[in-house]
Structure formats: C-alpha cells, structure tokens
Amino acid sequence: EAGVAQSPRYKIIEKRQSVAFWCNPISGHATLYWYQQILGQGPKLLIQFQNNGVVDDSQLPKDRFSAERLKGVDSTLKIQPAKLEDSAVYLCASSVNRGETDTQYFGPGTRLTVL
C-alpha cells in the first residue's frame, strides 16, 4: 500500500512570495489533515478535511493560508504572501476514519524556508 505522498520535499522562497504544497493521501482515506511543524515543536493542525468538506480550520491563518480538496482525494495548501515565520515543515496526514483506534498516517513533509 502506497503511503501519503507530498511534493515538493523542499522549497525556498523570499518573503511576500506565494507557494503551494501538494498532498495525495493513502487510497481510500476519507480524512486529510495539514499540519505545520515549526523547528523544535510538535506538529500543529492547520486544517482537516472529511472527503472534500472542511471539518476544522480554526488554526489556519486565513488571511494568507488557503487549502482545498476538490475531488475528495488530493489536496493543495497555499501560502500567499509568505512571511518569515511561515518557515516550517508542512506535514500532510490521512486516516480512514472508521473507528476509535483509527490512526493518522503522515507523509514525508515539505520543508519550507522563507528568506
């Protein structure tokens, strides 16, 4: 079974530029999550999708971050314009969402550096 795929793996941009990250979850996983992991911290949830609907985006900075999951499969996270503090690893995860022991499976992440 293929895991969660993310691209690109690394991205360096200057502040005020825009950037987009792509995620393809594990086949059949209805729930998709985007996390931000700043150096030295644990991941923080930015947005959660159930199929193509948003379940939780309470911690997404909506003035600059946006995300979509149009066909209920892959997803794109965009930052526009980027700030220095957006430098972090952006992790995508997915889960089947079928029971209490359901586990989130993570992709390799995209490491963003904003100069």
Residues of this chain that bind other proteins (CB under 8 A): 31, 33, 40-45, 48, 50, 55-56, 89, 91, 93, 95-109, 111
Residue 26 contacts residue 105 (beta carbons within 8 Å): yes
The nearest distance, CB 44 to other proteins, in angstroms, is: 7
Cβ distance to other proteins smaller for residue 3 or 16: 3
User: Which residue number, 15 or 44, has a Cβ lying nearer to other proteins?
Assistant: 44
| 81 vs 106 by CB, closer to other proteins | 106
Taking the complex as a whole, the smallest distance from the CB of residue 45 to other proteins amounts, in Å, to 5
Q: What separation in angstroms does the CA of 77 have from each of 59, 98, 102? A: 14, 25, 24
Query: To the nearest whole angstrom, how small is the minimum distance from the Cβ of residue 87 to other proteins?
Result: 14
Q: Which residues have a Cβ under 8 Å from the Cβ of 108 and sit 6 or more positions away? A: 6, 9
Q: What is the CA radius of gyration of the chain?
A: 13
How far is the first Cα of the chain from the last one, in angstroms, to the nearest whole number? 37
Q: What's the closest the beta carbon of residue 12 comes to other proteins, in angstroms? A: 16
